[in-house]
Amino acid sequence: MLSIVLPTYNEAENIPVLIPKLREVLRDIPHEIIIVDDNSPDETWRIGMEVSKDMEDVHVVRRVDKRGLSSAVIDGFLSAKGDVLAVMDADGQHDMNLLPDLYKAVIENKGFAVGSRYIEGGSVGEWDERRQLISRVATKMALALCKVKVKDPMSGFFALDRAVFEGALEKLNPKGFKILLDLLVHAPKGTSAMEIPFTFSTRLHGESKLSWKVQLDFLEYLYDVTIGRFIPLTFVKFCM
């Protein structure tokens, strides 16, 4: 079974559009769709429940005391039943038509299958030059840490074998937005990966979640998995 997690925050306009299309794409694959919502002010969780009330394959997890994409994905994976776990944005920026290919790739190689913007055939779409520069720099920094090498370690569109997730679980950092990077850093030795090209699209509705805080969280993560092993970030902040 494929368990796909949709981490959401203020995506109420997108859910009614996304879920029917997603179910159609997955119609030939045993699956479940898990919406993990961080108690959105626009009540995304409520819209999800209304849309899915007659759908046995769609579940909603409402988190009232947590925030953050990485922790939402981790909680979604922990509640999932499938042998293959996947993540996709709920704003229409990821090509859901590639999910069967990601699923098949994981079934075949028992590792990661990553929707990649940085291999031949992939693209960041309509990003401006500033965002492209930030992404390139962040990607180069991230690649130096990864046990499992891919061209797009910052992708938010990927699938993996449940055993890989469980093997990395105790080392994962729930803070931040780059859960794939954390999984690639802490994956069990010998884990394989395949990449499938996709073009990053513009969101259907709502506003981007990219902010200076997200970028700061990424830098803090890099510190935690390098220097932070010897000098904890909490100690550095205390000294400041």
Percent of the chain with pLDDT over 70: 78
Give residue 157's Cα distance to chain centre.
Answer: 6
Q: Is the distance from CB of 10 to CB of 38 less than 8 angstroms?
A: no
Structure confidence at residue 127 (pLDDT): 61
Percent of the chain with pLDDT over 90: 62
Structure confidence at residue 11 (pLDDT): 94
Q: What is the DSSP string of 49-81?
A: HHHTTT-TTEEEEE-SS---HHHHHHHHHHH--
| Domain range list for the chain | 2-239
Alpha-carbon span 231 to 64, nearest angstrom: 32
pLDDT over 80 at 37, yes or no: yes
Alpha-carbon distance values, 22 to 1, 73, 92, 99 (Å) = 15, 18, 10, 9
Write out pLDDT tens, residues 110-125. Answer: 999 999 998 999 887 6
2-239 is classed in which CATH architecture?
Answer: Alpha-Beta Complex (3.90)
Write out pLDDT tens, residues 131-143. Answer: 666 667 777 777 7
Higher-confidence position of 99 and 141: 99
pLDDT over 80 at 39, yes or no: yes
Structure confidence at residue 238 (pLDDT): 38
